[in-house]
Amino acid sequence: MNKLILGRYFPGDSILHQMDARAKLLAGIYFIFVLFIANNWLSYVLLWLFTFFVMRLSGVKFRVYFRGVRPLIWLIIFTVFLQILFTAGGEIYIDWGPITISEFGLINGVYIFSRFVMIIFISTVVTLTTKPIDLTDAINYLLHPLRRLKVPVDEISLMLSISLRFIPNLLDETQKVMDAQRARGTEFGEGSLVQQMKKIVPIFLPLFVSSLNRAEDMANAMEVRGYQSSKPRSSFRRLNWHGRDTIGLLVMVLLTIVLVMLRTEAHVY
């Protein structure tokens, strides 16, 4: 669990580190929607090449990304298996009651796996190359129009930033609690499902108490510094939009056009 890198920031001087946080956040969200345009193997090959290219631009080694996605791989595989076992279409390979393994199910399973992994990779790129404070300012700026609807934009952006910031800390503390339980003789991953669930229960209480203590400490620190949610706030750091940020979004638009063309050609054939 301590190898999950989603939510962590890696200092660097790559071109992605120098980009505006708003551009990276917009591009990351846009990429998630672009994934659903792809409907053939050529489109997914293009998306994989684009994903690896962006990972390369971040200046972080590929093994860091693969090590970070490893804790989530079983959840992804479980979702893919559900897609394969209960989706019918095309040539049927196995038909056993509600379980059907078909050509369409296998292909769709590969697509679902690719989508999950690429979303994790791109989201990790955004967090690895963006400081939490800059990410908060970007969320606050993008949600700015909602203030006219009396939406508490500042509070929402602050909550998202704090949640994202403390995901690695929560995982690290989980690992420490599990190591302490192992030192007391607890063996995780052994026994029946009920026994394994009982072994996990003692982990939740220390984590819950620790999270409450951290939340109280942070609230006190913010109060001492004069934070008031109902008051307008100034910002020490300024987000600056540059030409490279515009180019990055134009690349996303170009990627969308190519994917639409590949999708159209697939329907023609």
Give the residue extent of every domain in the chain.
15-167+241-268
User: Can you give the pLDDT at residue 1?
Assistant: 47
Q: Which helix (H) or strand (E) holds 227?
A: none
Judge contact between 247 and 16, C-beta under 8 A: no
Structure tokens at 121: 């990779």
DSSP SS3 for 92: strand
Residue-wise pLDDT for 90-114, tens only, equals: 666 666 766 667 767 788 888 888 8
Q: What is the pLDDT of residue 82?
A: 77
Separation between Cα atoms, residue 200 and residue 212, nearest integer Å: 19
Question: Would the pTM of this model clear 0.85, i.e. be above it?
Answer: no
- Nearest Cα neighbor of 242 from 12, 23, 26 is 23
Q: What is the distance between the alpha carbons of residues 10 and 247, in angstroms, rounded to a whole number?
A: 23
